[in-house]
Each structure stands twice: as structure tokens, then as C-alpha cells.
Chains A and B, each alone.
Chain A
Amino acid sequence: MKTRGNIFRSLLPPVVVLILAVAAMEIAARMLNEPFLLPRPGAVALAMVDHRMDLAASLWTTTQATLIGFFASAVAGVAVAMILAAWPLARRAIYPYTVFFQTVPIVAIAPLLVIWCGPGIGAVALSSFIVSVFPVIANTMAGLLSTDPALEDLFRLYEASPWARLWKLKLPSAMPSIFTGLRIAAGLAVIGTVVGEFLVGLFGPGEGLGVRIISAKKTGHTEIVFAAVLLASLLGLAMFAAINLAAKLLLRRWHAPEQN
């Protein structure tokens, strides 16, 4: 039951932490007195207001690339996991290499990205995809392989086809794991986008947050760097919240203690 007291109690602690963090930042910035290293929170807020149109345009660019990369990860990740879960031979042969997606430094393959896709949103979204796909594969596979064995027996007893087993049993059963993977992938997708923008983002009006960060860093405008980073974090937070909401809606009938 959401009473006024309950809302207050759940909202107050994070708000207090936020206030303390901002206060700590203000104190540290004053002590350090080097605005190009650590700007005062006031300067960051001012930068966000002064440059709100530019930053909004940058946020939109970054959001587009992130969403493309994320959805690509979600679809491809689940598809690959389904294939690997269904074929043990493929799984043994290929699964160890999927982890390379996570470990390859984007800096090293940036030239390839640019050559394949040209600079801009294509290459950036690809960077976002590469960085975020592995958790989806790993978690989905774990979910598909940890189906309740008694339910598998039940399906076998009634001679269910492999398709029926996948669609009616394994996939629904793997949903909580899939959502875990998506939660992790969301944050990584943002990081992948921003790093991609560092390397292969397009300069110019509406350039992504990553480009803006590098640009501001070069001119010592650290308060803009912080503002851009803050916006990127908010993007990640928003995606995370959206996924949680989706999970809640889809899985609300479950909260089954026997799964996961």
C-alpha cells in the first residue's frame, strides 16, 4: 500500500545521499581549487542551463545510437543464445569465443568500424552493440539451460516437439534471466555508445555526448564534461528503469520461488 509515509521513506534516503554527494563535491572542488580537474556543482548546473540546446541535441544523438545498439544486442543476443542452447556441439565450439565481444578493446577495432560503416551513428551503434551483447547471450543461455527438469520430463511425456519445448517452456522459463542480461546490457550500451563516439562519432551540430566530452576536455571546459557525463548516466538510468518496469509488468504474475 503506497501511503504518503511509504513514499517518503523510499524516496528520502537516495535524496539525502544526492545532497551529501553534491555537498562533498562542492567542498572538494573548493579545496582543490583547480576547476579544470573538478568543477563546482554550481558550475556544472550553470553549464547545463547555458548549453541546454546543444546538450539536448547531443543527448538525443547518443540516445538514438544507444537504443539501436541495445535492441540489436537484445535480439541478436537472445537468438544466438537460443541456437547455442539447442545445439550442444555449437555451444561447446562457439560459446567460449562470445566472451571476446566483451573483452575486445573498442580502440583497437575502431578503424575497422569506420571503414565498414563510415563514421557516425552506424559505427557508434555497432560499438554499443559489441560492448553490450555478451551479457545478453550469457544470461539468456543460463536461463535456457536451467529449465525445471521435472517440467522437461512433463513435456517429454507428452511427446512435445522441440519447437513446443522451446517456445512454451524454455523461453518463458528463461525470462527472468533474460531480463537480468538486459539490465546489464543497458548500462553497457550507453558506455559503448559514448566510447564509440570518442573514436568514430561524427563532429558537427548535434554531435553525440561522447564527442562533446572530448571536445570540452580539450578546451579545459571540465564543467561541460561533467554535464555531458551526467546526462549519459541519466540515459543509462532511464533505460534501466524502463527495463525494470517491463520486467515487472511481464513477470508480475510469477514471483515464483521455484524459478531462479
Chain B
Amino acid sequence: MFSRIAIPLFCSIALIGGCAKSDSGNSSIQLTLDWKPEPEFGGFYAARQDGAFSKRGLDVHIQSAGEGADTWQLVATGKTEFATSTADQVLIARGQNADVIAIFAVYQTFPQGIMVHRSRGFTSMKDVFTNDGVLLAEDNSWLHFLQKKFSPVRVKITGYSGGIAEFMAKKDYSQQCFVTSEPILARHQGGDPQTFLIADEGFNPYTTVVICKGELWRTHPDEVKSMAAACREGWQDYLDHPEPVNAIMHGMNPDMDMQTFTEAAEAQKPLIETDQTRSAGLGTMTLDRWKTLDGQLVNLGVIDGSVDAAQCFINPDGQNGK
């Protein structure tokens, strides 16, 4: 009688327990990207392709996350060792007492923007928010920022679930976009997109940052440094010759055609390689920018209290965090 209850009970507990924490015993490392294979991840695939990972003894498996959990949650709960996220998400995570840190930043400039129909005659981001129409956007920190900056807002805002179908169908629709992606797509389909960069309005979080658990940095600093170095090498490779890796990514993501891959890879370069990276190295971050972002998020009510910016990141050479 007891065993009839106990055995299924123990099995359920074991199952739940097993799901909650994955064991990090083996040497294979998971890197979870927060979208499908596209030029914004080119450097990672290049690192795998050109041996940047393997020559440092890193057996890295790359996978794409679905829409379900935010990648910082996957890292915090041990589902994946590394993932890509954005700086504001890192601050949100730390605000929720999840110890994740950023170790490499791909985009120095926030690559998100808002795409409108050129025929509307807007001259600035402010026009988008203070005129009638519909804006399709995810409810992220940058949206809160812009809503506050251009309050009172007249445009109707609703959810964005990907693609450009609604935008193409209606002239008074605007949408969020990755400046290297959707506008190119819209142009190819015969549209008249005009893009306003969010970073120009003063909100500029590092984007496509590689994150991992703070604990991993404390216990295996060499592994983390190797990972950051490999990413830097891979990205340098990709920026110099994107074509081969584009072809590989296109094979995994046939929805995006090669022409778009090429244009996007070209368009994103100035967002990745800036004066900062030319002096300090690809992927480095500064304390000032993290502090600014922290202040902005507190101001917007996205995080409840200030987070120690210094704890949020380390640079690939191990400095400026701890």
C-alpha cells in the first residue's frame, strides 16, 4: 500500500526536481540565442565555424530560444550556460535577484528602431507618437521610455508578433524593427519604409550581449574569459568575411533570403564597430553606460530600485565589473 503511493510520488518529485535544475556535469556548453539565425548572431556561428570555440577547448552548442521564457530566466535557472540578451533585461534580472552578468556586447548602438511609411512625412520619432495611427511594438523598456518622453501619446499602441504584414497593408501603421532587418525586407517587398533609431532619442542599451551566471564567473573565470575571447574572434571574422557564415545561417533560416542577409550584415557594421571598440576592443562595455541605463529604468519604474551597475558586467579581459 505504501509503495503504491510512495513510488509514483518519488518519481514525480524526481521529475520536477530534474526539470528545475539541470546538471552541469558534462563538458558540452549551451549558447542560447534569443532569435533565429540572422546577421545579428553572425559572429557566434562564425566562431563555431572557424574553430574559435574548439581551439579554446569549448564544446559549444548553439540553439535558438522560442518566445517562451526570457533568456535571462533560462540562464538563471541553469537551463543554459550562456545566452544572448539585452542590457536592460540584465538589469531587470538582477532587480529580481537573479545573478546574471554580461560578458560581451555585440551591438554598441541599440539596433532597434521604429519603421514608418515615408509617405506620412514624419521628420522625427516624436511625430510617430504624437500623431494618429497604430504602432505595433513589444512592451519593452524602450517603449516605456519613448511613451514617457513623448507624453501625451496619441498613437494607438498594440502588440507586435513579428513580420511586416500589417505594416505593408496599412499606410498609417508603424512598427518596431531591427534597423538591419525589417526595413530591408519592406523595401524588397516594394514598401516605402523610413526608420527612426531609438538610440537617437537617448535610450541606448547594449544589445545582443552574451550573459552567464555570476556564479560561473566566480567559479570558472577562465572558461568565461575564453568564451568572451572566442566570441570576439568569431565576430571579427564575421565582420571581415560574412558571406560563408551567411550561407550557413540561411540554410538554417530559409525565410530570410541571401540578398537580405548580405544587406543586413553590411548595415549592422557601424552599430557594432565604433570608436569604443576600435580603442578598447570588440564587445567591451563601460560602467557609465550601465549606470545611465540603470537610472533610466528606475525612472521608468521598470525596475523597483537601483541595481549596482558595476556588478552587471565584465569585459572580455576580466575588468570593470567586480
Contact = CB atoms under 8 A, between A and B. Distances in A.
Given A110-B161, A200-B158, A202-B157, A220 B170 contact: no
Interface stretch (B88-96, B116-124, B267-275, B312-320): B88-96
B156 A120 contact: yes
Nearest to A212: B139
A35 interface: yes
Contact of B73 (A37, A114, A203, A204): A37
Contacts of A219: 92, 141, 302-303
Interface size class of A (residues with CB under 8 A): 20 to 34
Contact of A199 (B161, B165, B170): B161
B157 A34 contact: no
A107 B161 contact: yes
Contact of A201 (B76, B153, B158): B158
Nearest to A123: B158
A160 B251 CA distance: 68
Interface in A199-213: 199-204, 211
A15 interface: no
B169 interface: yes
A111 B165 contact: yes
Interface string B135-177: 0111111010000000001001111010101100110000000
A114 B133 CA distance: 12
A218 B73 CA distance: 11
Interface of A: 32, 34-37, 107, 110-111, 114-115, 118-120, 198-204, 211, 214-215, 217-220
Given A118-B134, A218-B92, 12 more contacts: A36-B93, A114-B166, A115-B169, A115-B170, A198-B159, A201-B158, A201-B159, A202-B156, A214-B139, A218-B140, A219-B141, A220-B95
Interface of B: 20, 70, 73, 76-77, 92-93, 95-98, 134, 136-141, 143, 153, 156-159, 161, 163, 165-166, 169-170, 302-303
A-B pairs, 9 with minimum CB distance: A119-B158, A203-B157, A220-B96, A111-B165, A36-B96, A215-B139, A111-B166, A220-B92, A115-B169
